Amino acid sequence: MEHEEAAARAGVVIRELREIGEFEQVYRLFDEIWHPEPANVPVTVELMAGFAHTGNYVAGAFAGDALVGASVGFLASGEALHSHVTGAVVGKGVGYALKLHQRDWCRERGLARITWTFDPLVRRNAHFNLVKLGARPEAYLTEFYGAMADAINEGDASDRLLAVWRVTGKQAEEKADLGEAYPLVREADDGGPVTAEANDRGPVTAEARERGPLSGEAGGRGPLTGDAGGRRVLLVGTPRDVERLRREDAGKAMAWRMAVREALGGAMTAGARVAGFTERGEYVVVIN
């Protein structure tokens, strides 16, 4: 199976979990990752027991006897698994091995896709989901979880992208032409967002793209109206490290939330699709 090679590289063994003691290990691992308030845990031991008993997905990655990653999901409509929460130690390849294990699990059961949500502002997660896995966002969900009380998300709105990963066949690849791409949001020198009005602009050259041909003050929100002068490809940037930004400048982090909600969420609601994610940390948005 495909996940076994990735698991071997990460130095782990991945298996489904069945016992209360194993679910308690997952609970403790997630607590170490997110440090949630007791009333805001990602998933309870009781729910994991219920999910596993009824044929849903509860799996763990073990390095020897130590649990270093886990994932919990449930069957969803349309021959799908919805991956509710996945957490792992950072930088070891465990998360990637867990996703491949999920995919093998779904293929064995004749499922067609895996869905999950992720924060559109977290650049490393967007790169992992869109570039490494080849998943594609199919919906922008505003305040999906309501207020979240944990060390990573507290104080921010819980906007999410719904990622869809096809597990049968090969993910369709779309090569968008970035030569005429129009940057709607980029990161300013001070770490805040700079937004642009998508009207009455000339062609975007490579040099102009480096500068970011955008108007407005850093951290401000310009109007995002029109059709980008007829151009089909838009770029929506992300902050370098939004989790750090939340701790150091909550106002600037919220400015990013609103800018990306308006630009990316607005475009997707109007029917545009996300075709990829650049090495510079930008969503590539194609107008249909």
Length of the chain: 288
Answer yes or no: do 19 and 151 share one domain.
yes
Say if 94 falls within a structural domain.
Answer: yes
Indicate the pTM of the whole model. Answer: 0.84
* Residues ≥6 apart with Cβ < 8 Å to 268: 137, 139, 140, 274, 285
pLDDT attached to residue 91: 81
Which pLDDT does position 232 carry in this prediction?
Answer: 86
Give pLDDT tens digits for 109-155: 999 999 999 999 999 999 999 999 999 999 999 988 876 655 455 56
Q: List the domain range (segments joined by +) for residue 253.
A: 178-286
Band of pLDDT at residue 168, cut at 50, 70 and 90: confident
Please indicate, yes or no, if residue 172 is contained in any of the structural domains. Answer: no
Contact 271/174 with Cβ under 8 angstroms?
no
Instruction: Report whether pLDDT(174) > 80.
Output: no
Residue 171 lies in a domain: no
Same domain, yes or no: 15 and 99: yes
Last residue of a domain, one of 111, 140, 166: 166
Which range scores top for mean pLDDT: 10-14, 30-34, 187-191, 232-236?
10-14
Is the confidence at residue 33, as pLDDT, over 60? yes
Within a 10 A sphere around the Cβ of 246, how many other Cβ atoms?
22
Q: Are 120 and 163 in contact (CB under 8 A)?
A: no
Distance in angstroms (rounded) separating the CA atoms of residues 254 and 159: 11
Give residue 61's pLDDT. 98
Residue with tokens 């998360």, as numbered in its chain = 95
Same domain, 162 and 204: no
- The pLDDT tens digits of the residues spanning 180-218 come to 789 999 999 999 999 985 433 433 434 434 434 333 222
